[in-house]
Amino acid sequence: MAFFGKKPQPAAPVYTAPPVEPPAPPVRPAVVTTRIAEGVTFVGDFKTDEEIRIEGAVKGDILSSDTITIREHGSYTGNAGMRNLEILGTAEGSMVCEESTQIRSGGKLSGALQTETLTTEEGSVFDGRLKLNNQKPAPKAKEEPAPAEAPAKEETNDDLPPWLASSLDKQEGEDAK
């Protein structure tokens, strides 16, 4: 029934919002977080889990669980360990790289390098010792189990002809005396 001559209004539609997904975990930015700028000289050792870009000069030991890039005007002298190495400038020392090393055109590496893969471009220089880690060891020969030794058989003369068996039996009896 309508009050004061008004007609009843239909109920307003109910809006249901879609379920809200939790936000994604933060993603590590795709920017270099450790950078030695051109014109800067850093002397000393350091360790980082971040990518390193050397545009200036670094003298010292570096340990990084990420990539070290030595840019065109960059130079590095020391011992370094890293996941990947890219050289466009100059590097001198002992480098141990878990995965790949790239020496780009114009890049120069003098010293020792241990890496899984090495890529060199035309115009690059590598002067030193190289050890590639991707060489798989030769397959071992399949070792077969040693044959089980048969249990010691009691020696009897049953297999022998009777004339030989009887003479051996007599001899064994004399040896036992």
Reported as a single tens digit per residue, the pLDDT across 70-111 is 999 999 999 999 999 999 999 999 999 999 999 999 999 999
> Would you state the structure tokens that stand for residue 57, as one six-digit string?
């000069």
pTM: 0.60
Other beta carbons within 10 Å of 101: 25
- Kindly write down the DSSP assignment for every residue of 64-98, as one continuous string: ESSEEEE-TT-EEEEEEEESEEEESSEEEEEEEES
- Pairing verdict, β 125-132 and 108-115: parallel
Q: Are strands 52-54 and 67-70 parallel, antiparallel or unpaired?
A: parallel
Please list, in sequence order, all residues whose beta carbon lies within 8 angstroms of the beta carbon of residue 106, skipping any fewer than 6 positions away.
72, 88, 89, 123, 124
By the 8 A CB rule, do 123 and 140 touch?
no
The residue whose two tokens read 């379920």 is 19
pLDDT in tens, 52-76: 999 999 999 999 999 999 999 999 9
Neighbours of 38 (CB within 10 A): 13
**Closest by CA position to 54, among listed 71, 66, 41, 40:** 71
Express each pLDDT in 30-39 by its tens digit: 566 789 999 9
